[in-house]
Structure 1
């Protein structure tokens, strides 16, 4: 386990480009594999999670190759033409790969087994199993509805009208993917609008997607429907920079004095850009430069300069648009003037780690004052002063969680005694060159 000490940093300056968006990268590989013909993907995130998706699609018949220029070329098999994998699909640490592919295979007439690392095998899959079972798929899961699990797809599957009990882009996407190969119309109602990359990209590949509203007891809620059986056409995809990866540098440049950093080509899809909104509410100096549209996704370069931050009450309604960025936000809150309170974050307890408990423990070790609630954290900020942990430096346990590791690395950049991360290896799942970029801008 490669541990690493992160200490007080000079100003972060220059220009960087973060890796491609992880959510879009997963979907680009899957949808291109289902199209008939050749698709080209530029800017694909080459982290372990996305590579797990590529490996799984290869096992089911797609031809996926990386070109010398960094582009990925996918020869799709056509929807409904996937072949039964000979061995288990190893998802590594990727919950996104698992849930999306469970959905895809739920309407294909063969059996597949999903497995992964210890962290992934502890994550619940019941929220995906329930609606996919209604469509006719059969599941044999481990105790608690976890991996390893086996799915027997239904052919034909049954279209459903399903209201998500909890807002989840992964569950929504799994159902829509199952609906692609299902006769009729499969419709999902979401209580809170979640990231919409699946709908946007499926429409780009030629699926018939309907976006609307449904009347429910609480009022109107967003609905997304897919018409099966879809015929997908190949397309070229340019993946924008991942806002979840940009978040670490947005926070780092905000808390390290005299920083002036530009992050190029960041995706600013409204369903993903909540971290920028909340940081600005805290007083962060983030400017959008050269806003543009790339492949149907809004993109801009983000210039962030050091600024005095103030604590805020985070609106629970914004949670779906920044659910993965809260570990980084908690670090920003630790350096703000006043108190930051968050709620509605129960989802964070079933991520790669229990991110509420893990971040509360890590920030406390680093010298922050944190109160853990059942659905959020209350963080009392230092007013911009360096965090003061123990003289030997905080020894942080990341629980194999890449976002904990990167968030606490950022905290170490503005600490008095430094922060030691117990294991930096998980960072490779989503941000393989994080260390390289961090060292480059802090030189």
Structure 2
């Protein structure tokens, strides 16, 4: 297996970066544009493999979509204009694509089949298929509908009141998208608040959604209208440079136009609690999604405990937080994060395995990990295991590594969310 040589033993990182568009918002912009009436334009779209899978699926459903770089034009057909696909819908590596699209197609009176890559085949889908079946969709698949391939025949949905067993924005969004097409009211109750991009986008496209505490409700039979979507930079992508700026000596990095949705900014809260030298400069904007610039400089960090309601606000950033913790004084404890086990990889075990190769003192627990700092990292051959966030975290870790060179296996996984990652990283040298 060919491995990519990583830059190591950097003495400083200096510069300004515009991180790519938010992955979660890019997915949803294409989906909502497709089921709205009229022409939707999306700017700063993330042309990563996951979001391109979403475009490809909607094209198979009869939607005309033109994508050139970070600009996308969608000729929306409404929910009713979606057509039964002649081919299997291949979602690639994208959990967002399959789970949200199942919610949309649960309301359509035709048959569709979903598949994906090897990683998707291991990710549990019953958390989505169970509530959709309760609403009236007919679903079958491997292991009683738990894993792909999965087929769905939709239409004739009725609204439900559904308490989520786990805090998941994907599951919440899937049910709400089905609820927009169902008879009556659909209500989702979250155990902890999760990212609210779907709720914001319903409103942006002229729909109605209500929230009270942790309950989110939509009325069925809604029609959506085309919109112009400006996608802010992805804070999950920015997190890798925030970490690099904080732990590589002599560094100062400015990140432009980063999304600052409060349901996603847990990484900023964690960095500030750890003592990071970080400055947030929010824009004055009327956009549906708040954004701003962030400046980070080399910092003396301390270990903290990350748990409870903070976890859903930084779930995708935990791998890079684990790396930060290796460079913080004292112990960092991450708990209540069992959801990491069903991401692109089991991120608890994978983070522990790969950082341990580099000399980190890190242990897995049932619902998180314990990291002891401050430790020196050494060069090693590591692997992303096909997980884009693990790959980027290890590339940042290598910047601190001493001794032999570091090599990253399966580095191509990074293109899922950040095709220009290595180019942007090298611009700081």
- TM-score calculated relative to the size of structure 2: 0.97
Asked if 1:343 corresponds to 2:343, the answer is no
2:189 aligned partner = 189
Aligned-partner Cα distance in 2 for 1:408–1:274:
21
Aligned-partner Cα distance in 2 for 1:79–1:133:
19
1:141 aligned partner = 141
How many Å apart are 1:290 and its aligned residue? 4.5
1:173 aligned partner = 173
2:62 aligned partner = 61
SS of structure 2 residue aligned to 1:265: strand
1:400 aligned partner = 386
Q: Which shifted more, 295-304 or 138-147?
A: 138-147
Asked if 1:297 corresponds to 2:289, the answer is yes
Q: Deviations over 1:15-37 (max 9, x none)?
A: 10111000000000000011111
Match of 1:243 among 230, 235, 243: 235
How many Å apart are 1:183 and its aligned residue? 2.1
- TM-score calculated relative to the size of structure 1: 0.94
Asked if 1:125 corresponds to 2:125, the answer is yes
Q: Is there any run of 5+ residues in structure 1 with no aligned partner, and where? A: 214-221
SS of structure 2 residue aligned to 1:41: strand
The total of aligned residue pairs comes to 426
* Pairs within 5 Å for 1:20-419: 20-67=21-68, 70-143=70-143, 145-153=146-154, 155-213=155-213, 222-293=214-285, 295-382=287-374, 386-387=376-377, 389=378, 393-417=379-403, 418-419=405-406
Q: Is there any run of 5+ residues in structure 2 with no aligned partner, and where? A: none
Aligned-partner Cα distance in 2 for 1:75–1:56:
14
SS of structure 2 residue aligned to 1:226: strand
Aligned-partner Cα distance in 1 for 2:284–2:215:
27
Q: Is the 8 A contact 2:340 2:348 kept in 1?
A: yes
Aligned-partner Cα distance in 2 for 1:367–1:397:
15
Aligned-partner Cα distance in 2 for 1:186–1:403:
33
CA RMSD, aligned part only? 1.3
How many Å apart are 1:159 and its aligned residue? 0.8
TM superposition outliers: structure 1 runs of 4+ over 6 Å: none
Q: Is the 8 A contact 1:80 1:181 kept in 2?
A: no
SS of structure 2 residue aligned to 1:441: coil
SS of structure 2 residue aligned to 1:251: helix
SS of structure 2 residue aligned to 1:399: coil
SS of structure 2 residue aligned to 1:297: coil
Aligned-partner Cα distance in 2 for 1:71–1:435:
22
Q: Deviations over 1:236-283 (max 9, x none)?
A: 000000000000000011110010000000001110000111011101
